[in-house]
Amino acid sequence: MGIAIAIQDAHHTQVELITGYDSDALVDMISSAPSGSLIDCIHLYADTMYNSHQLKFLLDELSNSNYELDHEKEVTSILRRAAESAIRQRGYLWFSGD
């Protein structure tokens, strides 16, 4: 199972597809996230999209998270960079579950 991550601009044009990260780590992070958090709401088998307003809350969640394992820290860094890029473009972060 994998989750594709794409950054889209304000017109939903794909700007970047995030590849080469440990998608199993993201799945583990989703599975262990607090109920109702934005990370918890990423669907493992369908599409989830956050707009630039919602991504500000995702960044807060990532800043307040206690991920200690190296692969979790790597995914957190990738999510942070992707969210910041989408916010700058007033765009979206799109997760496509497998």
Q: Residue 22 belongs to what domain range?
A: 3-97
pLDDT of residue 63: 94
Helix (H) or strand (E) holding 26: helix 23-32
**CATH at residue 88:** 3.40.1760
Q: How far apart are CA 72 and CA 18, in angstroms?
A: 16
Domain count, the chain: 1
pLDDT of residue 1: 57
Per-residue pLDDT tens listing for the chain (98 residues): 589 999 999 999 999 999 889 899 999 999 999 999 999 999 999 999 999 999 999 999 999 988 889 999 999 999 999 999 999 999 999 999 98
| Strand stretches in 1-98, DSSP E | 3-8, 14-18, 47-51, 92-97
Decide: residue 60, CB within 10 A, 0-12 exposed, 13-18 middle, 19+ buried: exposed
Name the pTM for this structure: 0.92
Q: How far apart are CA 31 and CA 40, in angstroms?
A: 7
